[in-house]
Amino acid sequence: MVGFMASLPAKWTEYLKRLADDHEINLNNVISELCEWAFSGPASKEQFEDWLDEAYPPKGEAEGKANAAGEEAGEIEV
């Protein structure tokens, strides 16, 4: 297992801590198992990647869309 730090919104931190306490396990185990459950199948991985691409486009794609939008706006103004 690789260790790293991540920040979670307070409402999720409280919820996950409560689950860990209720089940007498480490919070890291809860998060690890959550990820394992969420990304265990190819369909769920693909669904997450599709959402992520839509919500936060990859660097080159986001720049391309911004440039295209600027060019379209320029064409409309003329």
Amino acid 73: pLDDT:
57
Residues of the chain with pLDDT below 50 are: 78
Contact of 19 with 26, CB cutoff 8 Å: no
Contact of 13 with 30, CB cutoff 8 Å: no
Give whole-number Cα distances, 33 to 2, 7, 27, 30, 58, in Å. 14, 17, 10, 5, 27
**33-47 per-position pLDDT tens digit:** 999 999 999 999 999
The set of long-range contacts for 17-21, using a CB threshold of 8 Å and a minimum separation of 24, is none
Amino acid 6: pLDDT:
85
Contact of 1 with 32, CB cutoff 8 Å: yes
**pTM of the model as a whole:** 0.61
Amino acid 21: pLDDT:
97
